[in-house]
Each structure stands twice: as structure tokens, then as C-alpha cells.
Structure 1
Amino acid sequence: MSKTPAVLCKNKWLCATELSGGTKGFNHPGIMGFQGKAFLAFIREMLQNALDANRGDGFIRVIIKHLEILRSAIPDIDGLVDIITRCKDGEKDKKVLASLDKAIADLSKDKIHVLQLADYNTKGLMGSVNDVNSTAHALLKADGVTNKADIGATGSFGIGKFAQYTLSNARATIVTSVSCEDDGTYRPLVQGKAILKSHKRYDEALGRDVIYKDESFFGPDDGNFDAAYEYGDLPDWLRRGDGSLGPDTQGTTISVLAFNYQENWKELMIGLTLQNFFAAILYNKLELEIGDVVINKDTIQSLFTDLDVVNAVRDFGRYDEFEMSYFYYKALTSENSIKEVVNIPELGDVELTILVDRSLPRQVVFNRNGMKITDQMAGLKRFRMVKPFACVVEPLDKEARETLRQMEPPAHDDFLPGHASDEAVGRRILKALETTVKQFIDTHAGFKASQESNVTELSDLLADTTDDQNGDRGEYNIHGAVKISDETKTIGFGGRKYGSVSVGTLNNDGETETVSGGKVTFEGPENPPGPITDRPGLDPTSGNGFNVSSPASLDLGGDQSVEGTSEGKKGVRMHVKHRGVLKGKRQFKLETLVKEPVKLEIAFQRNGLSESDDLVVVSSSVGEVVNGKVHVELDQNNSRIEVTFDRDFRGGSVGIVAHAI
């Protein structure tokens, strides 16, 4: 590749004139496409770029850190502010003006927030930014161009590069890269870029207004809008590593100016990294340092269960996806998982991994090159007559990865046959994948005919709730007698299936224990079955209930009456499994078998990766709401209660804790 000689002139922020007279507004499609998910887009796009740039001799190491840089240490920051200020001239859109004012304010502070991502053991940006065939040009100058040479590269559309600007309130970044050129020498490259809007400026020499482009570049002040190919007088924070040039500093650094800083940025980026790249980390393809936290195959388990990480992801609205990724990670690491390599015609070799466990969600995920692509593939979203499982599908060879990559949309979150080079072939491949995966799941997780039965006489004991929009979901009450025989049964209720019942705390020795007027007797195993969920953060010995899916007899209610207060008394705990979207308003059916009316305090919790997540009730159809809980008096009649929580959330297991008061 050709390269530009070292340029000694001072670096500045410059903006080229638009000779055609055309203009571009502030709403750049490449940036707006990531609107509302900037942190997610940054992690997915920047880490897949790093994986695609692997130079082939080990794992990729990525360091992400937050810096506060003195304004005086940012080269030509006044030049960038001047360009942003000129973008305000003639602008009438209040939202755009507010964004430009925010950029100016952030860049005018004594210290500037900077987010910096640096990858190592990567190739760096090769060639000159003005060479249209170079990777440097593709990242910094081209639209819709990738120039990635590796077949099966994770990214491919040349759109993801815009994710780096979404975290900048000034839409400005500076790229520093060290690459090994064709002659074996190591060379730095430094160029900044800001994507704003077209604007006018009066040119005294021409005696008229001149239109300037929406893109500005930081580099040598020589009129070529090129990068700097030596460090010169650039500050240390813009240099790679210790500033030396060699294999140890080879790679690329993205410095996001005016970073949209938030307090939990570190925990959020950790969570989003685990969610999307758990496979790459597990396979030792990727290791990260985010802030002061190391993420590798040895720490991933503990980070999946870190409460601060869980809460950050939940606040970002990605808890369900994060939780699902934990299940897939569990499938890849469990000694009980089953692996099989199959050959898909016209695709190639694919590895299937399945773990069957009652805590799992019956979901299939597709990974490629260590990155999660989708668990929403058409035809593989709903499964009947199979045990709970998690299944991971991964193409093994480069040709298979390339074929699937071609069928991905720009977001790399689905497979669409229309994106394949031959749509008919794409359809055949996806159909063959669907059939093969279903057969694999049926073989290892399907119920055998001898194990199936319908116990319709139990239907009166359970709430009949059907959500027309979100599909069937069962809600399970614990009163009455439920007998599970020596064989695992699929118990149906009018076409619905129920999966689990749980109550109170149990001793691990299998002994009978009275729990708020009920009792549990184990007939088969020496020890009680495991907790109702095997999700991290829930201690199996701390009273999280049990799953009545192994030989046991559950007898609650009867002639027992609930009396006394909650102090020193164990409360009944019911787990309710929801499918589909769980909105803030939700109905529960309470079965009561008592001699006389009883007043209960009912609290709700969402169970998941954290130990507990209290759901605050703001209204109830019966009783009264006291401190986010429901106080209600129940008699021998069954009752329905409709409660509204203080927020919405999706799916999951809900714990109901009731105490007599």
C-alpha cells in the first residue's frame, strides 16, 4: 500500500468547502441509526472491529478507560469549537441548536471528558487515509465501505464506524493507530474527525458566502485533509502505549471527545460486553480492561453475577438480553452440555451445543466469530414438548461464517435470505439450519411419549390466564395436593403447561418442614431437588424454593390455618413464571384454604441475576397498598388481585412473599 510521507506542519481542525453547493443536515443517517442505544452500538461495533483486525498471533486485548483531559492538552480545541459555532448560523431547529450548544459547553470546560478505547494485537490502520483501497481510508474518509480483507469478518457494511460518534456530545473523535507497513517499518497515524452539518462562512477573498461540508478533520494544516504520520508535538494521551513504535504498540485507539459521561459507564460497558461477546471471551479470543476491571475467561462468571453490572444493564433496558446471554454462557461451560458438529449443505460445518436444565429459557442463539448475532431466528423461537434448554449454534469454518455474514443486516442481529448473494440458496440454508437444530433439540431435550400425561383435574387449582398478544403463560398456586410420579410428567391444563411450584424454605436433608400452614414431603430422592432457578445471585440453601419436577408430594393448605404475625414466622413464597411481556399491571389468582378469614401482607419481587429486586406496588384491586405492599383480608373464597407496579419490565420469575399480619 502507498503511504504518505511524514508531515511536519502543525495539526488543526479543518473543514473543506462543498464545491457542488449541496448541503447536509445534522441528522446524519449513520449516526441516527444508533440513536437511543449509543453504548450498545459502541461496544458491538468497536469490539467487532478489533476482532476483525486480529493480526493472527494471539488474543485481542482491548482497554477502555475514561479520562478527564485538561482543555489546554487537547490540540486546537478552539478550532473545533469555532466550527461548531459556525454550524449554528442560520439553524432553526431547536433540537439541533440545543445539541450544538451542549457540544460547545462541554468543550469549553477546564477538563474535558474523553472515552478512550485501545486495541492491541491488531493490525492497525494500513496505508494513507487518502488511498481509497486502504483500511485507514475506509474508517476515516469513506461511507458504506469496509475494506476488511478477512473472509467471515464480523463487520461488513462500513456503517458501524459511526457508532464512535454517538457517545460524543460534539460528534468528534481522534483516531491514533500504529501499523506495520509493507516495508516492515512501524508507522503512526493520527487523524480526528467531526460529523456535524453543512454551514456557511463569508470568504473575504471571494466576496461571498462559501458552503462548508458537514465533516471536519484534525490533521496537518496543508490543505490535503490528510492524517499526521508522525507524533510530532502531540500530547502523550493521544499516543499509543509508551509512544514507541513496534509490535507492542501496534493497533488502533479511538478517543471520543466530549464523552457523554454517566456514573455507571464502566458497569454498563462491562454488562454489554458480556451480553454480546461472552463467546469470544470464553474462547480466549478477547480480553478487556474496562476501567479497573479485567474481563477474561477466568472473571466472566463473577462479572455476570456482579450486582452493579446487573443493575446498570437493567437501567439501560437490556436486562433480559443480558440474562439470556448468561444462560448461553452456562451452556458453553457446563460439563453436562452436549456438543455435536453437523454439516449443513451449502453452508459448512456448524457446532451445536445444548444444556438441558429446568432453569433455562428454551432459546437458541447464533454466534459468529465470538459475537452474539441473534436468538430470535424465525422458526426457532417457540418450542413445545421439550424440557427447558439453552442451545448455542456456531459456524466453525471461514466459509460458513462468510455465508452467514452475507445474510446479516447492517445491525448484525438477524439472518435474512434476501441479503445472500443468491436468495434461493440463502433460504435453503436457513431452512436446513432450522430443521437440523430442531432435530438436535428434540433428540436431547424432547419428552418421550411414555413420560407424558395430562392431569386435567388440577386445572381448578391454577389461574387460567391467556395473553392473546404474548402467548400462553401459566401462573401457579401452591394450595391443594400435587402428586408427581417417578416419571417426569408434562402436566397440561386445557392445552397449557405448568412448569414449577415453589414454597418457603427447605432443609437440604430432605426432611419434612412445615411452612406457614403447609408441609412438603419428599418421597423419592434423599435430598430435595435444586432451587427453582439456578440463576446467579440466588443461593440454593437460602430458601429460594424448589421445583416439583422430581418425585415428591406437595401438600399445602388442607385444614391448616394461617395465624400469628410475620415476626419469627416463615412466610409462604410462591414463584410465578411469566412468558411474554410483563407489564406494570398484572393479575394474580390467590387460592385460599383456611378455616377463617386471614389478613395478609403480600410483597412482590422479581427474581433473576441479582438476589432480589423489589417490585413496588402503586395500586391494587383489593385491600390497600402500604409501603409498596398489599394488605388484604382473604377468606375461603378464591380471590383475584390486580396490582400495578411502579415500572414495567419484561418476563422473568416473580416471587410473592406473604405473611399473616
Structure 2
Amino acid sequence: MNIAWNFPNNGCGQTRGISDAGIETFTGIEIQSLAREICQNSLDATPDSSSSEVVVEFERYRIQSNAIPGYEIYKNKLHKAYNYWSNRKSEKTIAYLKKAKKAIENQNTFVLRISDYNTTGLIDPYGDSDDGWNALTKIDGGATKTGDKAGAFGIGKNAPFCNSEYRLVFYRTLNAENEIAAQGVSRFISFPEDETDTLHTMTTGFGYYGDTNGNLPVETIVELNNLQNRTGVGTDVFVYGFNAATTWEDDVTCEVLENFIMAIYKNKLVVSVNSTKINVTDLPALMECYKTKVRQAYCYYKVLSNPETKVFTKDFHGLGTLKLSVLVDAQEKLNRKVLVTRTSGMKLLTIGNISRLISFSGLLEMQGKELNEYFREMETPSHDKWVPGRYTKNPAQAKEYHDELKQWVRDMILGLGEYSSDEEIEVEGLSSVLQKESSSSTQHGDNKKEDLHNTIGDILIQPRATYQSKPKGLFHGNEGEGQSKSRDTQGNIGQGGFTATRTLGGNRQRTKKDTHRGTISQGGRDTVHEKYSGGTHEALKSIRIMKIANDKFRASFEVSRDVQSGHIEIVTVGENGKSNKLQVKSATGISACENIKCSSIGISFLNLKGNEKAMIEFSLVDSRDYAMEVNVYEHN
């Protein structure tokens, strides 16, 4: 057996340049991609019958460069590549090779070892299987993972090479069949072995360190054993020329927390980054320490750990189960997104654009092999979205299922959603309130103004403003037999309307006196709401307005006494403080009121009970989200 480096000849075929598509995918996020892809592969290699957590270790070593297996030969190959490409016009290639040549000639270098335990190891290292060892070292773009395994395109195995100054990685495994194998792989660049005959000696750019007869692995590579011995079943990855910044430990820790929070919390994964342990026991302290760096993970951790989290399940067309966990908490600045994970606990993608009015975070688990197989066919290579058109078997059905899943998630969350009374919310739309154009919007002048006046309840919203969402309301009650009470300028109850001169501030006063309903301020700046002929005016109690479905709302409130008949207005308030009545399409009574009906003046009712929570459900003509208020009017 001849153990050495071998770079196969390309047979006068394609020449491989420096811009490898698989490697370029991870450029700029090298260490993060390495942490994510390695842990994903380890979770995918969990034995079916195992109940033990997968353990992944990250450890860095400083070694002498001549301790790289086959160092002199590999350095010679790199020099040949530099000599050939330095006479070409590719500035990017020349710059890379110059940097790599300098790095390998340094006296010392770094090696990152990543080892997993309680996994299956890699099968068939000495055969020609399209799975296991060969899928990692030789097959390009031919991933064979199925079911609820996370990888789908075979791209992730390129991530370690981004983290090497000279694209050099060694693998080692001890599998369940007690087979031991080790091999070095270089995803490098084409170069000629003989510079006088570049056409016939050009290499493919891929190199292997091991048995040169068939480019097979060997049982032992001494230099790897000198770093760490493998005694249990699992796989090791050694990244030589490890080029990460000094913050690499924090970078790996943050990436693991962001992508595997569910797996760690459920004790499916334990990660060691030098001296840092990432496990379910230490998770609370880690989340507190890194919460500003892993804001998304922190929100999902709150979902997992808060006893107020609500859980919903749905059998999805017999394919498997959707499990949705949602936390709604106005006190926490949650991210208003739902994290989608597979059974392993690996982050898949996020669902957003659900509601800007509800402070929530959620976790959606895709449970079941068939369910995961179905939706994985829709995944993009970057695993960050579903595209139904990628499901070639039945794109129409895929779109239907995709939309149904997202709508179910939205409905469950909106059913829990409650407009917070003091949360600052950014809403697409409330920078200004405009009137909705009707079918006669082509009119001009006074006719158009009249049309807008008649459609004051139909409101469209333009982006974008930040405002204080404060659901509130007033009860306008009548007292006496046709008489009404109001306050005089000293705030005393009296008969008839309140006639006064409004003070605008400073020395400015209105000269016109009129009857208004308002709140007196001794400082002279009374707030006048509207003309009103009298009666009592008080704030409603315990007001809550919730969106319970895509187009349905629930309002609850209390009045201070029984009201025989009246009507309810639903209004929205713009940032300028002006309110606009919203048109209600339908309404039903739930408790503490009777005969709920829609009418031209709002939602009419009979026998509204005082000091008892009244509850109604309603839908609007316009299904947009608004900051709403409730006004209750008593009829004589």
C-alpha cells in the first residue's frame, strides 16, 4: 500500500478554477457555516434506536506545519499551482495562491478538530456505496439523505474547506461495524504535474491522502492520532490551516444556539467548544450571556421555557403532525416569527409577516418522516424558504398544502393575539389615514369631497408609522327622563349642555361659545371631543380587543351599570389623535348582552349587564389591522 497525496489527472478535460461554487456559498460566513453544517450532519447520524444525546466537540490545536500529513508533497503541489496560475490573468486565483503558499510555509499552523459521539459513524469506507464515506469524500451534489434528515443537496460538506487557508481537511471514522478509516481531502485547484506538458498532466483539482490505489482511506494516519485518539463510534473532521478569527469560540457558540436551540433544550444535542459546554443544564446561563448576540434564539428559548406557552397540534393530511408552540407576551419584545424545525431540532426556516400588533414568538415542529419528505422537496438549497414549484410531482397540491400550513399557523397565533395597552408597535399603515375611493372616485371638486365624507368608515392605510397602541373606550350614558347632566367650568354636575370658551394656551382664546362634551383642565387646556347635548361620560373598564382569526375580532369590556338598549361603535385612532368609525360587516354576542345586530349606527344591543364582562365578536368590511377603540352609547 502506497500512502501519499494523489491528485488525479483530468484527462484533458475541464480545468478547475479557484471559484468553487460549493465553497463560495459559505464565503463570508465561514465559521458559522462550519458549526451549523457539522452539527446538522451529526444529528442526522443519530442511531434510530438511540436515546442518548449526540455530543459534538470543537477543539483547536497549534502545531508545527510539518506535522500536516504528507506536508512536503502537499506544499510542492501548492507551489506547482502557483507557478502555473501566476502566468494567467486571474487576479483572484493568483492572490489566493500567494496567500496559501505563504501560509503553508509558516512554521506553525492551527488545526480545528470536530468530533461527534453517539452517532453511527460513516458506513462502507472501503466500498463504492453512494452513501456514508463516499457521499462525504467523493460524491459531488448527490445527497442521499431522506425523511427528517436536515441535509438535502450535499452542499454542506464544503463548509470545512472554507475554514482552511489551503482547503485541506482530513476525515476519520469508527462506524457501528467496527470499521476504522482515515483520509485527507483537498478541494483545491487544477494544476499541471509537469509544467512542460500542461495539456496531458493537468489535474482535476481534487486531491486525496491515503491509499493511492483507488484513492481509498487507510486505517491509521499517525498525525491524527497524535492529536486525539478515536475510541468510540463516531466521526472526526480535522481542518488544517484553520483560519478563523480569535472570536471563533463565541462565533461557534452563537451559531449553535441560533440553529439548534430546540435540539439542545430537548437534550438531543450537547456541544463542547473548548471549555464552553452547551447543554440543557447550562442553557439558561448561556442565553442570558449571549441574548444580545442571539436575539432570535433568545425569543425561541422563551417559547420553550415559559409555562404560559400554548401548544396546538394538527394532523396534516395523514402525512404527520404539525406541533405549534406559541408564546404571546406584551412585556417581552418578542420577534413575531415562527421557527420551523424538523424532528432533530435543527432550524429549518422562519415564518414571518403574521402580525405586527401581537408580541409573540413560536416554534413549529414538523413531526413525521412523510411530512418532512413532502416539505423538504420544496426547500431551496439555502434551506431558508419553501418554494412549492420545486415539488415537481404535484406543484399545485404543494402550493395548496404550503398555503394551508401557513394559514393554520397564522390563525392559531391571531386567535391568541391581544393588542397590548402599552406596547409600542410598528404597523404598516398608520403614518396617515386616507379615505377609501369609491366607485365614483373619478368625480371632481365638491362631489368628490362629498363622496369621501360619505365613506368615512372605509379606511386605507399608508406605510409607515410607529405609534402607541392603546385600546380604550368610553361609555356615553343617558340619565333622568330626557334630561342630561354636564359639568360647569368648575367641574360640578349640572343640567343641560356645557357652554364655555375654550382656552387654546397662552393668551389665545376662542370667542365662540358652544356646547361641547369634554374634560376640564384647570390649566385652561380642556380637551373637547365633540358637540354633545349631555349625559354621563366615563371610561369603559377592562377593555380588550383581540384578533381571533384572519378576519374576525373579539372585544370585551365592562360598563358600570345595566343598559337596556344602545349601540357600540368600533373606531380607529390615527397618530393625529382623530378617530374614525370602522364599518362592521357582522357581529354576534357572546356574553352579558342580547340581540346583537349590525345597523347603520354600529352594533346595536339589548340588556347589557353592568359590572360584568360583555363580549362580542365582529368582522370588519376592511380586514386590515388597526389600533381599535370601543365606544358604547345608551339609548333613551
Q: Do the two structures share a fold, i.e. TM-score over 0.5?
A: yes
Contact 2:306 2:327 (C-alpha < 8 Å) held by counterparts = yes
Query: For each residue in 1:515-548, what CA deviation from the matched residue of structure 2 results, as whole angstroms up to 9, or x when unmatched?
Result: xxxxxxxxxxxxxxxxxxxxxxxxxxxxxxxxxx
Q: Distance in 2 between matches of 1:207 and 1:295?
A: 51
> Partner residue of 1:494?
574
Tell me the residue number matched to 2:580: none
SS in 2 for 1:305: helix
How far does residue 207 in structure 1 lie from its aligned partner after superposition? 10
Structure 2 residue 148 is matched with structure 1 residue 152: yes
Q: Which residue of 2 aligns with 1:370?
A: 345
- Cα shift at 1:442: 2.0
Contact 1:364 1:381 in 2 (8 A): no
Task: Determine the structure 2 residue equivalent to 1:59.
Answer: 53
Q: 1:150-188 deviations in whole A, cap 9, x for unaligned?
A: 52211121111111111111111001111123xxxx121
Tell me, in whole angstroms, the C-alpha distance in 1 between the residues paired with 2:10 and 2:415.
Answer: 63
Shift of 1:419: 2.3
Match of 1:288 in 2: 271
TM-score by length of 1: 0.62
2:568 aligns with none
After TM superposition, give the deviation of residue 237 of structure 1 in Å. 3.9
- Partner deviation per Cα, 1:423-455 (whole Å, 9 max, x = no partner): 1221121111112112211222255xxx999xx
Flag the 1:481–1:331 CA change in 2: closer, same or farther, 3 A: farther
Map of 1:138 onto structure 2: 135
Q: Which residue of structure 2 aligns with residue 561 of structure 1?
A: none
Q: How far did residue 465 of structure 1 move?
A: 8.9
User: What amino acid does structure 2 have at the position aligned with 1:393?
Assistant: L
Q: Map 1:111-510; keep pairs closer than 5 Å.
A: 111-128=108-125, 131-148=128-145, 151-181=147-177, 186-202=178-194, 210-220=201-211, 222-228=212-218, 230-231=219-220, 233-237=222-226, 239-241=228-230, 244=231, 249-306=232-289, 309=290, 313=293, 322-345=294-317, 347-358=319-330, 359=332, 360-368=334-342, 369-375=344-350, 377=351, 380-383=352-355, 386-420=357-391, 421-446=393-418, 471-474=463-466, 486-488=542-544, 493-494=573-574
Counterpart residue identity of residue 45, structure 1: E
The answer to whether the 8 A contact 1:197-1:214 is kept is: yes
* Structure 1 residues 282 and 138: alpha-carbon distance in aligned structure 2, compared to 1, 3 A threshold: same
Cα deviation for residue 262 of structure 1 reads: 1.0
**Cα distance change on mapping 1:111 and 1:367 into 2, 3 Å:** same
Letter in 2 for 1:387: I
1:71 aligns with 2:42: no
Q: State the secondary structure of the residue aligned to 1:115.
A: strand
Partner in structure 2 of residue 50 of structure 1: 42
Q: Tell whether the 8 Å contact from 2:190 to 2:205 is kept in structure 1 after alignment.
A: yes
CA apart distance, 1:268: 0.9
Contact 2:130 2:139 in 1 (8 A): no
- Are residues 81 and 496 of structure 1, via their aligned partners in 2, closer, same or farther at CA, if it must alter by over 3 Å? farther
Q: CA deviation at 1:331?
A: 0.6
SS at match of 2:119: coil
Q: Which amino acid aligns with 1:254?
A: V
CA distance in 2, matches of 1:51, 1:267: 21
Conserved 8 A contact 2:194-2:201: yes
Q: Distance in 2 between matches of 1:133 and 1:476?
A: 59
| 1:409 aligned partner, one-letter code | T
Q: 2: distance between equivalents of 1:233 and 1:190?
A: 10
Which protein is bigger by CA-based radius of gyration?
Answer: 2
Distance 1:473 1:332, change over 3 A: farther
Contact 1:176/1:240 (CA < 8 Å) preserved in 2?
Answer: no
CA–CA distance in 2 between the matches of 1:292 and 1:400?
A: 38
Report the 3-state secondary structure (helix = DSSP H, G, I; strand = E; otherwise coil) of the residue aligned with 1:362: coil
Task: Indicate the SS of the match to 1:393.
Answer: strand
The answer to whether the 8 A contact 2:355-2:414 is kept is: no
- Partners of 1:355 and 1:439 lie apart in 2 by 14
Cα distance in 2 for partners of 1:218, 1:179 equals 20
Offset at residue 141 of structure 1 (A): 0.4
TM superposition shift of 1:42: 1.2
1:69–1:112: 8 Å Cα contact kept in structure 2? Answer: yes
Whole-Å separation in 1 of the counterparts to 2:259 and 2:198: 54
| Paired position in structure 1 for 2:450 | none
**Secondary structure of the residue that 1:147 maps to in structure 2?**
coil
Give, as a single letter, the amino acid of the residue that structure 1 aligns with 2:407. Answer: T
- Contact map agreement 2:65 2:108 (CA 8 A) in 1: yes
State percent identity of aligned pairs: 25
Q: What is the count of residue pairs matched by the alignment?
A: 446
d(CA) in 2 for partners of 1:207, 1:218: 23
Q: Distance between the aligned counterparts of 2:136 and 2:204, measured in 1?
A: 18
Residue 132 of structure 2 aligns with an amino acid whose one-letter code is T
* C-alpha separation in 1, matches of 2:313 and 2:285: 30
Residue matched to 2:15: 23
Q: Which amino acid aligns with 1:231?
A: T
Structure 1 residue 294, shift from structure 2 partner: 0.5
The Cα of 1:97 is off from its aligned counterpart by: 1.6
* Equivalent-residue separation in structure 2 for 1:337 and 1:298 (angstroms): 20
* Contact 1:125–1:252 (CA under 8 A) maintained in structure 2: yes
SS in 1 for 2:204: strand
Task: Tell me the amino acid that sits aligned with residue 201 of structure 2.
Answer: V
Deviations 1:255-311 (A, max 9, x none): 1111113111001110011001100111111001011000011112211222xx467
2:134 aligns to what SS in structure 1? helix
Residue pair 2:354, 2:410 contacting (<8 A) in 1 also: no
Instruction: Determine the C-alpha separation between the residues in 1 that align with 2:160 and 2:198.
Output: 38
Q: 1:237 to 1:300 in 2, by over 3 A?
A: farther
In the alignment, is the contact (CA less than 8 A) between 2:338 and 2:362 conserved in 1?
yes
CA distance in 2, matches of 1:20, 1:132: 27
1:227 maps to a residue whose letter is P
How far apart in 1 are the matches of 2:136 and 2:126? Answer: 8
Whole-Å Cα distance in 1 between the matches of residues 203 and 43 of structure 2?
36
Distance 1:355 1:124 in 2: 38
Return 5+ residue gaps in structure 2 as ranges. 423-429, 434-461, 471-524, 528-538, 547-570, 578-636
The 1:473–1:82 alpha-carbon spacing in structure 2 relative to 1, beyond 3 Å, is: farther
State the shift of 1:495 in Å. 7.6
Q: Determine if contact 1:119/1:251 at 8 Å carries over to the other structure.
A: yes
Q: CA deviation at 1:487?
A: 2.6
TM-score by length of 2: 0.65
Cα distance change, pair 44–63 in 1 and its aligned pair in 2 (3 A): same
Cα distance in 1 between the residues matched to 2:296 and 2:216? 45
Give the Cα–Cα distance (whole angstroms) in 2 for the partners of residues 388 and 21 of structure 1.
58
8 Å contact 1:346–1:429 — kept in the other structure? no
Unaligned 5+ segments in structure 1 are: 1-7, 314-321, 454-462, 498-661
> How many Å separate the matches in 2 of 1:111 and 1:95?
25
Between the aligned partners of 1:107 and 1:476, the Cα distance in structure 2 is 60
SS of the residue corresponding to residue 199 of structure 1 reads: coil
Whether the 8 Å CA contact 2:17–2:93 is kept in 1: the answer is no
- Give, in whole Å, the separation in 1 of the partners of 2:335 and 2:526: 27
Q: Is the 8 A contact 1:452 1:489 kept in 2?
A: no
Q: Secondary structure at the match of 2:285?
A: helix
Equivalent pair of 2:467/2:575 in contact (CA under 8 Å): no
